[in-house]
Amino acid sequence: MISLSLSDKVALGTALLGGMAGVVGSFAVLRGRALVGDMLAHAALPGVCLAFLITGNRNLLGLSLGALASGLTAIVAVAIILRWTRTKEDAAIGIVLSTFFGAGVVLLSVVQKPSTGGNKAGLHSYLFGEPGGMLTSDVLLLAGVALVVLAMVVLFYKEFLVVCFDTDFAQSQGWPTIWLDLAMMAALAVVTIVGLPIVGVILMAAMIILPAATARFWTNRLSMMLVVSCGFGAAAGLLGTQLGRGFPAGAAIVLTAAALFVVSLLFAPQRGLIARLLVEYRLRRRIADEHLLRTLFELSESSLPDVPVIPLRDVREYRHWNSLERVLERARDEELIDSGEGQVQLTPLGLHRAAKLTKAHRLWELYLMEHANIAPDHVDRDADDVEHLLPESLLVELEQELAEEGRLPAIAAEVPESPHELSPEN
């Protein structure tokens, strides 16, 4: 460790901090306590200044203990405000955060006077962070805290998991949910405090929130979220210190974490914005395709089993279409329809698929009228809302349920009659 260069120490220290922040931040984000990290970071500043005034040196352990004491005092202050006043939690956090930070700025101006030597000690780095002065003892402290956090998560993983997602169930099992919650908040407080010299009071909250929020785009499992969040936090620390040379290191680390968040926001496979837009586009296209087939079936229904040729004018008048030409083109490509000059006709394959879709739609209408008391003149749109979104397996269950109760229409093997009068939408 002693043989490591300063750049190696900085890289290792920022990576350790990022990894720890990712792990404890995951619990804070899932518990809706992300702002607690922000409050702790700001509330720690007066503790740092007071610790320096008492000890007279910039030892990280001494300053961290002062910051921790100040942070815990802030938590107690928030608890008192919530317990004895009608102030909401977000307002209480805001009051305590701004009050402690204001006191910290005043004390910092006192400490930085030449008579106290605080300016030479570099306490101003606690505002925006400065990992460039990292010592071997600082890295060892970060590594020790990381091991403690890791051990705590491994030992209490199951308890933390249940408390995060179902506190009532944890209480019913007799678990000490208050102490488990305090343990998570204590880990958050410790990581926040030791991270102050690296990314600063103002930006530490971002290190707590960003890796966890980024990991949430990639997984729904807590175990995987902890690993991914730890990885994103460590990567932000390493890349931020390497790519941000010449700029404030704390800001560079946070901007790197923000960049990872934006990339995940756009490109995550399931929760990313592009993936969701693609899913929505495909759903809208499928709904339009299914509406075309059902429209053609209902316009052909009176002539079945003969399949009539339908004027396109009737199709346009039957339903609102955003782009009927593109829907017709897709149906033609799938050999579901034959179309000519101003006319369209279902093919045998199209008739089979249209009958299946219409049958499903009318079964949903029957179900909604029976179980949800939907009026017949409104049930068409309500059935539309559910039939395209719910899985086909649910329709099979619906048919089985209606059959067991003896209420499945006798012609269910075919297409049941519509429970309402068929008419164009507009």
**Which architecture characterizes domain 6-271 according to CATH?**
Orthogonal Bundle (1.10)
pLDDT for 278: 93
Strands 337-340 and 343-346: antiparallel
Q: How far apart are CA 360 and CA 415, in angstroms?
A: 8
Q: Which residue has the higher pLDDT, 405 or 350?
A: 350
For residues 176 and 159, the answer to whether their CB atoms sit within 8 Å is: no
For residues 265 and 273, the answer to whether their CB atoms sit within 8 Å is: yes
For residues 240 and 14, the answer to whether their CB atoms sit within 8 Å is: yes
Which residues have C-beta within 8 Å of that of residue 62, sequence separation ≥ 6? Answer: 51, 55
For residues 230 and 22, the answer to whether their CB atoms sit within 8 Å is: yes
Mean pLDDT is highest, among 72-76, 105-109, 204-208, 270-274, for 270-274
Q: How far apart are CA 11 and CA 17, in angstroms?
A: 10
Q: Which residue has the higher pLDDT, 101 or 59?
A: 101
368-392 pLDDT per residue, tens: 777 777 777 777 777 776 766 666 6
pLDDT for 225: 93
Angstrom CA distances, 424 to 296, 304, 316, 366, stand at 12, 19, 9, 20
Q: How far apart are CA 119 and CA 122, in angstroms?
A: 5
Q: Which residue has the higher pLDDT, 321 or 95?
A: 95
Q: Which fold has domain 277-405?
A: Arc Repressor Mutant, subunit A (1.10.10)
The answer to whether residue 14 scores a pLDDT higher than 70 is yes
pLDDT for 277: 93
Angle at 411 between CA 410 and CA 415, to 5 degrees: 145
Query: Considering the chain, what is the average pLDDT of its residues?
Result: 81
The candidate with the shortest Cα–Cα distance to 258, out of 214, 302, 289, 304, is: 214
Q: How many CA atoms lie within 13 A of 230 on its CB side?
A: 14
156-183 pLDDT per residue, tens: 898 888 888 888 888 888 888 888 888 8
- Amino acid code (one letter) for 145: V
The answer to whether residue 418 scores a pLDDT higher than 80 is no
Q: 327 phi and psi, to 5 degrees?
A: -65, -40
Q: Where in the chain is the domain with CATH 1.10.3470.10?
A: 6-271
- Amino acid code (one letter) for 190: V
96-109 pLDDT per residue, tens: 989 998 998 888 88
- Strands in 310-311's sheet, in edge-to-edge order, are 310-311, 343-346, 337-340
Q: With DSSP H G I counted as helix, E B as strand and the rest as coil, what are the percentages for the chain, rounded to 5? A: 75, 0, 25
Provide the terminal-to-terminal Cα distance of the chain, rounded to the nearest Å.
77
pLDDT for 266: 94
- The count of other CB atoms within 10 Å of the CB of residue 352 is 12
pLDDT for 229: 93
- Amino acid code (one letter) for 101: F
127-145 pLDDT per residue, tens: 777 766 677 877 888 888 8
The candidate with the shortest Cα–Cα distance to 101, out of 118, 77, 120, 82, is: 77
pTM for the structure as a whole: 0.74
Q: Which two tokens stand for residue 269?
A: 């496979």
- The count of other CB atoms within 10 Å of the CB of residue 122 is 14
Q: Which two tokens stand for residue 371?
A: 């179980």
For residues 137 and 147, the answer to whether their CB atoms sit within 8 Å is: no
| DSSP letter string, 288-349 | HHHHHHHHHHHHHGGGTTS---EEHHHHHHHS--S-HHHHHHHHHHTTSEEEETTEEEE-HH
Q: How far apart are CA 165 and CA 175, in angstroms?
A: 14
The answer to whether residue 231 scores a pLDDT higher than 90 is yes
pLDDT band, very low/low/confident/very high, at 425 (cuts 50, 70, 90): low
Q: How far apart are CA 325 and CA 329, in angstroms?
A: 6
The answer to whether residue 80 scores a pLDDT higher than 80 is yes
Q: Which two tokens stand for residue 307?
A: 């399949």
The answer to whether residue 95 scores a pLDDT higher than 50 is yes
pLDDT for 412: 43
Q: Where in the chain is the domain with CATH 1.10.10.10?
A: 277-405
pLDDT for 8: 81
pLDDT for 411: 42
On the question of a cis peptide bond just before residue 409, with omega within 30 degrees of 0, the verdict is: no
